[in-house]
Amino acid sequence: MSEPHGLTAHEARDLLERRETTSRELTQASLDRIAAVDDKIGAFLTVATDEALAQADAADERLHRGEGGPLTGIPLAVKDNMCTRGIRTTCGSRILEEFVPPYDAHVIERLNEAGAVLLGKTNMDEFAMGSSVEHSAFHPTHNPWALDRVPGGSSGGSAAAVACGEAVVALGSDTGGSIRQPAAFCGVVGLKPTYGRVSRYGLVAFGSSLDQIGPLTKDVEDCALLLNAVAGQDLRDATSAPLDVPDFTAALTGDIAGLKIGVVSDYVPEGLDPAVRGIADSAVKQLEGLGAEVEWGVELPSTAHALACYYIIAPSEASANLARYDGVKYGYSYTEGESMWENMDKTRQFGFGDEVKRRIMLGTYALSSGYYDAYYLKALQVRTLIRREFEAALERYDLLFGLVTPTPAFALGEKTDDPYEMYLNDIFTMPANIAGLPALSLPAGFVDGPAGERLPMGVQLLAKPFDEAALLRAGHAYEQSTSWRDQRPAV
């Protein structure tokens, strides 16, 4: 890697260890890169220049004392739904446009302890509701591989920032595919950890039984390093799991001989574009070539209902979580009304965008008297069926395999008029959230766009709860046998 902004975290760490660069230089290179390209990309909502340089200097002192760790001095970006003390956290919404959190999210505390450098906060669909960042209240983000296309979402800012080298690595969050789908669209690695693996304390809540924070990185080794830093129990999130966290880099052995992988029929369905189908076929052959035992034809019949199940559960949870935006305690507040209630109604009317309103209304409806049993309870029962089918499949296989999305990145504006069409984007990714399983999105090649653009595609691996190590082991072996990770967009 010749350009400092193209470095992975482990390459940057090696340079820092050999004293061939400093965190200050790396951080300045990232800030320069942001200044040079972010007008075109739009990955950031806030760039914390002064804070980042101060953190870089502190990291350099720490490295100088020989007290650094793997992420000390590494410049990274964080999706703007994780609270950062003293740095505004908008969640992509007007209602939080001027919100400056009085505390750090758990993951931010962990990154601070590790000595990482926070460059800034990345763009996202409002309250993480969307698959394209087009629902950001502020501006769109452009796909670094094709600027007239979406980066995916909702963590599209983080994915784009890593893909074009604005940040070395980034954190995103994934409620129905919001890490994996943008990772696939932008040609980077994205991991949704097992539900409970990473504390949600300080993550702005969307779907509390589905949300999980995870890494977006240029390669699998960086993914393991970042997961090492943020995983583990935190008593402030009662759903964070009381389990020991292994060193995930120890899983990167390159050896997957005998690993049993099942291809889920619904995630590589009939009728795909032949070029897209070819992505899945080639990845399967590659895994077989590495010694994995791959079997086609894993059937998960309840997956057919996963989309409806998800779009009842997630909006229901969101409608309850977003009740806190009342214009009283923080955030945008309408004050011209006659009564508190009128002010609250108007605060929410003017503060929220259309997609957030749709989901609040869908969720309110599904939870309302007379419809609770038909919608919400039914969705929770179907959730059980989906979970059981995964459990049965994962008794037979170490990992499950599928595509991340049925198509590559679509054009900006293409799906904004039809909310349901946008929801279909998550069809291969949301089942992992419904079942709470860990899932890894890996760059797996390119398909040609109509104007001859090279558009990245991703494949996805799913594992048993808390077996992220198996995902990273297989992902690493696959990645090392391909050249996809060496290809970066020309921005």
Partner 1 sequence: MSLTREEVLHIAHLAHLGIDERELPKFQEQLSDILEHFAALTALDTEGVPPTSHPLALESVMRDDEVKESLSVEDVLANAPNAEDDLFRVRAVLN
Measured from the CB of residue 228, what is the shortest distance to partner 1 in angstroms? 21
User: CA–CA separation, 5 vs 10, rounded Å?
Assistant: 13
Sequence-distant (6+) residues with CB within 8 A of 136 are 45, 92, 123, 124, 125, 126
Q: Which of 136, 154, 158, 302 is catalytic?
A: 154
Phi, psi of 121 (to 5 degrees): -115, 135
78 neighbors 121 (Cβ within 8 angstroms): yes
- Closer to partner 1 by CB, 219 or 234: give it: 234
Phi-psi region of 486 (alpha: psi -120 to 50; beta: other; left: phi over 0): alpha
121 is catalytic: no
Instruction: Give, in degrees to the nearest 5, the angle at Cα 135 between 162 and 194.
Output: 55
Question: To the nearest whole angstrom, how small is the minimum distance from the Cβ of residue 75 to partner 1?
Answer: 28
Please say if 178 is a catalytic residue: yes
Cβ distance to partner 1 smaller for residue 101 or 151 = 101
Nearer to partner 1, 171 or 367 (CB): 367
Residue tagged active-site, from 79, 121, 192, 415? 79
Min dist CB 101 to partner 1, Å, is 8
Closest contact distance (angstroms) between CB of 214 and partner 1 is 15
- 255 secondary structure, DSSP code: -
Q: Least distance (Å) from partner 1 to the CB of residue 48?
A: 18
Report the alpha-carbon distance of residue 260 to residue 401 in Å, rounded: 10
Based on CB atoms, which residue is closest to partner 1, 273 or 342?
342
- Considering only CA atoms, which of 66, 75, 74 is closest in space to residue 17? 66
CB 51 within 8 A of CB 87: yes
260 as an active site residue: the answer is no
CA distances from 205 to 175, 257, 271, 324, 411 (A): 10, 40, 37, 10, 29
**Closest approach of Cβ 293 to partner 1, in Å?**
28
Give the residue with the Cβ less far from partner 1, 166 or 355: 355
Q: Of the two residues 148 and 345, which places its CB atom closer to partner 1 in the complex?
A: 345
Mutual orientation of helices 306-321 and 354-367 as an angle, nearest 10°?
Answer: 100
- Give the other-Cβ count within 10 Å of 480's Cβ: 15
Active site members: 79, 154, 178
